[in-house]
Amino acid sequence: MPEFVMTAPRGAADLLTAELSTFGALELRERPYGATCSGPLEVAYRACLWSRVASRVLMTLHVADAPTPEALYAAARAIDWSQHIGPTSTIAVDFDSTRSAVTHTRFGALKVKDAIVDQLRDLRGDRPNVDTLRPDVRISVKVVADRATIAIDLSGDSLHRRDWRGAGVAAPLKENLAATLLLRAGWADIAAAGGAFVDPMCGSGTLPIEAALIATDTAPGLTRKYFGFSGWAQHDAPLWNRLLEEARARSTLASFQTGRIFGSDIDVRAVQAAQEGSRLAGVDRIVKFAQMPLVRVTRPEGLGLMVVNPPYGERLGDEEGLRDLYRELGLVLRERFDGWQAAVFTGNPGLGREIGLDAKRRHHLYNGPIEAHLLRFDVSVASRPREHRPGHLPPVDAARRDSGGAQMFANRLRKNLDNLGKWARREGVSCYRAYDADMPEYSFAIDIYGSADAPEGRYAYVQEYAAPPSVAEERVRTRRAEAVSVLPEVLGLPEDRIWFRTRRRRKGLDQYTKLASEQVFHEVSEGGLRFLVNFDDYLDTGIFLDHRITRARVRELAAGRRFLNLFAYTGSATVYAAAGGAASTTTVDMSRTYLEWAQANLDLNGFGGREHVLVQADALEWVRHAPAGGWDLIFLDPPTFSNSKRMAETLDVQRDHVALLESTLRLVAPGGVLVFSTNFTRFSMDSSLTAMADVEDISRATVPKDFERNPRIHRCFLLRPKPWN
């Protein structure tokens, strides 16, 4: 059964996976770049026709080691290309590599093209010509760590090209990203309930046109004239024609009520382009465009959704002018769209705050290379700005305290505080997790932070796990309000000592993304040592509580040893190593901010000497050039995934751990030890590493009592290199 790789805009992988599940995909797995799955050819055809968020649909032909250009050629030639490329077909090869000996994309594509041409010439005496624009068969080759995946690109061209865009029209949003925004904002449900749609800065009309396709259940691929499978030798034309007929029958364009989908823009040329696009997409009867300034936009009858992608630094002038625009948008929403839903897509979170409404949800996405957020609002009195410090406890609704749910939550939290509090005092633990979604309907993590030197100086850091889209927003708000209403009393803390955040699924260094710039630090203690934490500026506070025992193990191993801390964050493991009598410490992190924080932690504990070196560098690159055998004890705690712009390459801890550990083990002196930790709960250590090192899994022994609810909160291993040959 064929295996497929589907790509999508960054931040849309879960939406793509949800779509694929309805197409009959098997063995479906969400990936950072999209998804992988298996299934009959119909799965791929349906993805090409129906997926609103997919970028490409690739069918894997062969996976092989390709450490050299010659091996790449051999891997490509191992495929029977006569099964895929007809005698008169044209081809194109797309090539991409990461951590590969073949670094030049044109050279890699040429080697694969040569393998195909040579094989077909030898086999049947003809050779395919190259057509880089619209080939009959497009071949995709991806090499990662010298492992090549060769696939047929069944989409042929990026699926965001729906073929309704007028020639020469520049658009700020690709069509599949626009569809992602609409799906995130709940437009499908709002449209099904008869709601209206408005985009008051529509540009060339991408959002209103995609909104019409969603509302009418019209397949986005219906207007496309080119797919990569059309000239493929195994194309199943009867199957494709059946799917097209099914899609035409499903569309409700002909019967959809007019007057529900609107777009407007101050630029008359943009409006003209939008009108032409809607005509080519076949939705001009139901989508209405008008040229008007934002201040003249009015609300249609009934309820609905506004989605807008305002400029954030490219189309308008200075920052102050943009601030005025966002303030005007907020004013229009508050005064004319009360009761509506709204979503604003911006690459400038600071400007988003000028709207003057509290976002109920924030979705992390990218517009090309630009990191952006989709801010979602309930436009009502309840969404007006609240008088509380960002990041602190939301306003307490006293009326909620006596509800059954609030009291059940309060009783469970009191029980946990009593049991864990006794344990913490007995063990001398000042910072611990008191609650971790013990009642799944109240999905919070509640951490207590304190200092052994000042037991009265306690703080609480509350993180709400973001609810899945299947949970109604009203239900989420109710349970949040119930929990908030009892927290000060049960925790025994004033409201200004309780911080509150929403924790969404994040990738790699995303967890360190700056949220504010308060620069207020609080001193806490752990294991007889002192550390600075920050509850305002970052989602994580500066010390990972589940690593408490792991840090203690580092201290036990450190005496007289040269210690190296990679991906060091705020250097807490370095402080422990210094406290354990390390002869020297080297702390490596890419962020100057976190290295300064690490230095402050060292100074706070009296470890400020020259033997403690801090290095600002990309750890992935740094280990490749560091001296072999230079350290006796290494702590390696990489992010699960990172594609930081400051790193030379992406990091996926499961995919890349063998290469990373091999590079790091090279730095361990004979008799030394590498402590490797990861918070990827599904991590599996590759057995090949046992050839280089004795590997001891100490995960179970390093999970603290306050994290026993989740025994896979992290994985931890000791690796002792075997003697060098």
Rounded Cα–Cα distance for residues 39 and 68 (Å): 32
Long-range CB pairs of 122-127, under 8 A, 24+ apart, other chains included: 123/82, 124/82, 124/87, 126/87
Contact status, residue 590 vs residue 647, Cβ threshold 8 Å: yes
Closest by alpha carbon to 353, among 341, 344, 342?
344
The CATH number of whichever domain residue 193 belongs to comes to 3.40.50.150
Query: Domain span at residue 526?
Result: 522-721
Q: Does 579 lie in the same domain as 450?
A: no
Q: Which residues of the chain have pLDDT under 50?
A: 315-317, 382, 386-388, 505-517, 645-646, 725
CA gap 72, 108 in Å, rounded: 8
Claim to verify: residue 271 and residue 371 sit in the same structural domain: yes
Q: How far apart are CA 498 and CA 502, in angstroms?
A: 14
Residue 196 to residue 535: CA distance in whole angstroms = 41
Residues 257 and 129 in one domain: no
Domain assignment present for residue 646? The answer is yes
In this structure, the answer to whether residues 311 and 365 fall within a common structural domain is yes
* DSSP-based three-state secondary structure for 633: strand
Is residue 312 a part of any domain in this protein?
Answer: yes
Question: Which CATH number do you get for residue 117?
Answer: 3.30.2130.30
Q: What DSSP line would sit under 525-559, residue for residue?
A: EETTEEEEE-SSSBSS-SS-GGGHHHHHHHHHH-T
Residue where a domain terminates, one of 505, 534, 566? 505
Tell me, yes or no, whether 417 lies in a domain.
no
Identify the pLDDT of residue 231. Answer: 96
> Long-range contacts: 579-583, Cβ < 8 Å, 24+?
579/527, 579/528, 579/529, 579/555, 579/605, 579/607, 580/554, 580/555, 580/556, 582/558, 582/633, 583/611
R_g of the chain computed on alpha carbons? 28
β-pair partners for 562 = 584
The pLDDT assigned to 28 comes to 95
62 CB contacts (<8 Å, ≥6 apart)? 75, 76, 78, 79, 148, 149, 150
Distance between CA atoms of residues 523 and 532, nearest Å: 5
User: Does residue 136 sit in the same domain as residue 190?
Assistant: no
Q: Based on the domain organization, do 375 and 259 belong to the same domain?
A: yes
Length of the chain counted residue by residue: 725
Backbone CA torsion sign across 686, 675, 631, 564: positive
C-alpha 635/C-alpha 567 separation (Å) is 9
**388 is a domain residue:** no
- Tell me, yes or no, whether 224 lies in a domain: no
Would 422 be classed as within a structural domain?
A: no
Q: Is 699 left (phi over 0), alpha (psi -120 to 50) or beta?
A: alpha
Residues 79 and 147 in one domain: yes
Is residue 70, in this structure, part of any structural domain at all? Answer: yes
Coil, strand or helix at 307: strand
- Regarding whether 532 and 470 lie in a shared domain, the answer is no
Q: Residue 724 carries which DSSP code?
A: P
pLDDT confidence of residue 519? 67
Cα separations in angstroms, 329 against 172, 356, 513 = 19, 9, 27
β-partners of residue 98 are: 144
Among 383, 416, 451, residue at a domain's last position: 383
| pLDDT at 388 (0 to 100) | 45
- Within 10 angstroms of residue 624's Cβ, the number of other Cβ atoms is 11
Say whether pTM exceeds 0.85.
Answer: no
Torsion of CA 381, 385, 391, 394, to 10 degrees: -40
**Domain match, 42 and 183 both:** no
Here the CATH number for the domain that contains residue 494 is: 3.30.750.80
How many domains does one find in the chain? 4
d(CA 375, CA 346): 8
Say what the pLDDT of residue 423 is: 95
Domain boundary pick from 478, 505, 532: 505
* 3-state secondary structure at position 146: coil
Looking at the fold, whether 656 and 540 belong to one and the same domain comes out as yes
Say whether both 210 and 117 belong to one domain.
Answer: no
117-126 residue pLDDT tens: 999 999 999 9
* CA–CA separation, 119 and 248 (whole Å): 41
* Residue 400, in any domain of the structure: no
Q: Which residues pair with 62 in a beta bridge?
A: 150
Quote the CA–CA distance of 559 and 583 in Å, as a whole number. 7
**What is residue 401's predicted lDDT score, i.e. its pLDDT?**
85
Same domain, 702 and 615: yes
Tokens of 128: 């395919």
Task: Strands of 347-489 (E only): list them.
Answer: 361-367, 370-378, 432-436, 444-451, 454-465
CA–CA gap between residue 113 and residue 629 (Å, rounded): 43
- Cα Dmax for the chain: 85
The whole-angstrom separation of Cα 266 and Cα 264 is 7
What CA–CA distance (Å, rounded) separates 616 from 478?
45
